[in-house]
Chains A and B, each alone.
Chain A
Amino acid sequence: MMNKFINGLVKFVDGDFTISTKRKAKPARRHTDHHEPTFKERFTQWHDEKGPAFFKAAYGIASIVICLTMITILLITASFLPEYGNPDNPVNNEVSERYIEKGLEETGSVNIVSGMILDYRAFDTLGESHVLFTASAAVMLLMKKEKKGKEVSDKFSPKRDIIVKTVAQFIIPFLLVYGVYLMLNGHLSPGGGFSAGAVMGAALILFSSAFGYKKIKTVFTEKFIKIVTLASLLFYAGIKCYSFYTGANHIPTGIPLGQPGAILSSGLILPLNIAVGLVVTCTMYSFYSLFSKGEI
């Protein structure tokens, strides 16, 4: 049904030049026949000649009207929203109160957001990691070259520009160290697995574009990335299985929360941050790699 409708729409839009040549013969025939065009014929003629332009204009006007209406409705809604920055807003209810007041005590994490997403709502974060993994699998499915065994030519490899190379030499170690810092300090300071993964993925992408595909392939082969991603996801899932099992049966987990503020504290949040960071790093790099050369 939908397909038919789209096809009809396309034919309607695509009236352009092929049909207008057909139309040129028509007036002559009409003169010889003395045939008065019926309303239906006149409509088809108008439809074929003016239809595409009319439809384009109508589509443009209709979409502008729809968009302006939507912006107006949204702005009116925004004007009725509770005041910005007011502590009495309905958003600041008992849920956030509970997270802030009990978060440090229950998760051991100084960073309350980190404690929230990797302890109270760790299942949600597991889903997020799987979303990334699924996206990279889908991209691999779509972008991977069909011909196997053929070596990727260096034709599309980035030019080994001396400026990029020198700057990359200086900046990549710092980027990697900063990424590791963010990953290991996710429970103590702003940061965490996702941002660390983005930073480290950026470092890998820079390395790949500065030094070519061959150098990065000494470590980051397809197999390595697959193993790291799957191992991290399995580790995450297994560790959460354990904590759900113990939590549901009211058994103590036996994982010490440690001193708040120390680097080895807050129980499972540190290893989970590392797992998430590795998944995100591998996904970011594999996106770049698949888009640029069609394989990892």
Chain B
Amino acid sequence: MGPNLLNNYFETAAMILFGIGFTTLFLQPNLIKKVIGLNIMDSAIYLFLAAKGYIDGRLAPIVVNGVTDMEAYINPIPSGLVLTGIVVGVSVTAVSLSLIQKLYKEYHTLDMDEILTKVSKEGDH
């Protein structure tokens, strides 16, 4: 183990959240809960990126009083990346939810095991 596990508490929390989301994705048979797990993973990534950009004692990257010194502001790049991530996350969630709704209308269940069972039974005959 490295020395910074408890100093990097935001990164640690992001890793744990990512793990929670990943486990939800694996273990829940319910498709809606799988999407929730995916969203938790997304949020973990945003937290991680935001934590990476932070610098102690510096301001948000909005110029005040014309000071354009690197020593005054935090890193603006991770903020831009988080924006991209949020947009992609919203789009993926919307498309997957609409696919899930289609599946529900077809098979009348949200359980992925049951859906796979029904698909294989349809394939038999």
Contact = CB atoms under 8 A, between A and B. Distances in A.
A183 interface: no
Interface string A164-186: 00000000000000000000000
A111 B56 contact: no
A34 to B, nearest CB: 35
Interface in A62-109: 63-64, 66-67, 70-71, 74-87, 89, 91-92, 95-97, 99-105
Given A14-B120, A105-B68, A112-B61, A138 B4 contact: no
Contacts of B14: 78
A121 B80 contact: yes
Contact of A131 (B71, B87, B97): B87
Nearest to A67: B23
B78 A91 contact: yes
Given A78-B11, A81-B8, A290-B98, A67 B26 contact: yes
A80 B4 contact: yes
Given A79-B1, A291-B97, A84 B119 contact: no
Binding site of B, secondary structure by majority: helix, strand, loop or mixed?
helix
A63 B27 CA distance: 7
Interface string A103-147: 111000011110011000100100010011011101100110000
A101 B68 CA distance: 5
A192 B91 CA distance: 19
A75 B5 contact: yes
A11 B91 CA distance: 34
A132 B9 CA distance: 33
Nearest to A276: B87
A258 interface: no
A138 to B, nearest CB: 5
A216 interface: no
B4 A81 contact: yes
A207 interface: no
Q: Which of A100, A101, A102 has the most CB of B within 10 A?
A: A100
Nearest to B49: A91
A112 B62 contact: yes
Contacts of B15: 71, 74-75, 77-78
Interface residues of B, number: 65
A97 B52 CA distance: 15
Contacts of B54: 84-85
Contacts of B23: 63-64, 67
Given A84-B10, A91-B78, A95-B77, A291 B98 contact: yes
A105 B87 CA distance: 28
Nearest to B61: A112
Nearest to A52: B113
A131 B86 CA distance: 11
Nearest to B79: A113
Q: Which of A13, A70, A75, A121 has the most CB of B within 10 A?
A: A75
A189 interface: yes
B109 interface: no
A97 B73 CA distance: 10
A132 B90 contact: yes
Nearest to B48: A78
A60 interface: yes
Interface of A: 6-7, 9-11, 13-14, 60, 63-64, 66-67, 70-71, 74-87, 89, 91-92, 95-97, 99-105, 110-113, 116-117, 121, 124, 128, 131-132, 134-136, 138-139, 142-143, 188-190, 194, 260, 287, 290-291
Q: Which 8 A-B pairs have the closest CB atoms?
A: A135-B91, A71-B19, A80-B2, A79-B5, A79-B2, A85-B56, A112-B61, A74-B15
Given A63-B27, A75-B5, A83-B7, 5 more contacts: A71-B18, A79-B12, A81-B11, A89-B55, A103-B76
